[in-house]
Structure 1
């Protein structure tokens, strides 16, 4: 028995399916035959696939879908959010339009802003996207709403409020120590 869970735009085809199948590929083919438009939607998109809490990469998708499923396997299919990757180009084009409009209308401040946008767009196109750490402990354990000891991790920013504040706090150090003195 396999459980297939859809997320994002795939939820229009249903949320959760229980299918008696030996492999993930067999389970998906079963759904392709029963749900009109599902296969085309999956072909058009870019998805993250997890089988039994294990990510399946693009390199291992063929083997991952063909591997034998255990008794209560769970297959998650999640759309991957992706950026446009052309923000720099759009910035350069918008900046060029601002320069032309500013020059011909006599509003040179607009032309100056356009030049700034063009320089920023070129910088965006030349800068590599930074790699993020995959196995980060940050964000996994949150004590913001779960306990009285709302503590901040070492190195976390500490807010500096001015005036009267009516919000939660970040306790930098918390502890009670008792001693017997003779």
Structure 2
């Protein structure tokens, strides 16, 4: 049946349009339409994460080939590092691999392009290889284990400040490359000491 496919954020910018009317009975058909009509979209989507909704319901990887009723399909990019691991989030590469793996020859045809009225003829889809053993791993937290976020550097001295008799209290000595803040007004915070030293000098009594 005909339904709307709606794209959001950077995905819509990449494709150049944010709404299509497509004959698609499953989410897999919708993904096939995108892959067959927009060059480079597989490479673009592979490393990114998406929440795919049918109406207000978020689809998981096991439901990609299930009939989805009459609601619109929404592809919503998910920003990495947002935290929480809530909702059903799909890795783009896994979404495409699972969608394409079940098709022998499927032609997705777009009837209209939002308000533009431009038609797309979908190409026949040949059998495509999956992206490897991990391609079918779509998250709910699994992607964070596959692609952990890098740790922020700790801008502090590697030397234990407790062995120094020149400074007391918390460590204030910063390592090379530490950003130096510029503060205005009265503040209550620890300082950022760029360098510090203690010199001894013999003084006659």
TM-score, L = length of structure 1: 0.46
Indicate the structure with greater helix content.
1
With normalisation by structure 2, the TM-score equals: 0.41
Higher relative contact order (CA 8 A, sep 6+): 2
